[in-house]
Amino acid sequence: VVHVLGGFISESVHGIARDAAGRILATGYVEFPFTTNAIAARFLPDGSFDPSFSPPEGWSIIFFGMGNAIAEDPGTETVWVVGWADGVFIWRWNPAGGDPLVDEISVPGCQLAIGSAVAVQPDHRVLFAGDCAPSVFPPSDWQVFVGRLLADGSLDTTFGNGGFQIVSFDLVPPSRD
């Protein structure tokens, strides 16, 4: 099944997952002439858009940036997306209604951060991970981070150091001599 949303310069999927009901979740981006926006979608098992997700289309433009990973909390059917904009962004869609949560999260000690993975724990806390750099121009000394959110989307300050665990790898490229 191929879906073309139409009206965009390009569309791309960066992350997919399967929810507890067997539906397919996808995130990525759509490109307009002067901006790129993250998108999330849910498909029924036959490949058609699920109109109950972000009604009536079955897909939603989230935020400036790119969605990189998507996961569902099977206990609540809440969908979480992590991605990159000016920093790490988190998006939460709650099937019970209400406005989706969109939040940019600053990774301590990093000026550039890219969210690339998300998972939901059985206690409904949300793990997200990616890489970050202390400087933007040029980005260097990349580090790996893992953060954790509470079910309400706030940072879980009992995890790591203020909600984050950051690991630096002092990797030196092999010599070409």
The dihedrals phi and psi of 93, each to the nearest 5 degrees, come to -115, 125
Task: Please answer whether residues 112 and 72 qualify as being in contact, where contact means their C-beta atoms are separated by less than 8 angstroms.
Answer: no
Q: Who wins on pLDDT, 116 or 2?
A: 116
Task: Please answer whether residues 62 and 55 qualify as being in contact, where contact means their C-beta atoms are separated by less than 8 angstroms.
Answer: no
pLDDT-derived band at 1 (thresholds 50, 70, 90) equals very low
Tell me the average pLDDT across 132-158: 87
Q: Who wins on pLDDT, 86 or 4?
A: 86
Q: What's the one-letter identity of residue 147?
A: G
Q: Who wins on pLDDT, 65 or 7?
A: 65
The confidence score (pLDDT) of residue 116 equals 93
Q: What is the per-residue pLDDT across 24-62, written as a single tens digit (0 to 9) for each? A: 999 988 887 777 888 888 999 988 889 888 777 777 777
Q: Which residue has the tokens 């954790």?
A: 148
Q: Residue 103: which of 118, 116, 87 has the closest Cα?
A: 87
Whole-angstrom distance, CA of residue 32 vs CA of residue 7: 8
Mind giving me the DSSP string for 100-130?
A: PEEEEEPPTT-SEEEEEEEEE-TTS-EEEEE
Whole-angstrom distance, CA of residue 17 vs CA of residue 138: 34
What residues are paired with 113 via a beta bridge?
A: 132
Q: What is the per-residue pLDDT across 86-142, written as a single tens digit (0 to 9) for each? A: 778 888 888 766 667 778 888 988 888 889 999 999 999 999 999 988 877 776 788
Mind giving me the DSSP string for 58-89?
A: IEEEEEESEEEEEEEETTTTEEEEEEESSSEE
Q: Who wins on pLDDT, 92 or 2?
A: 92
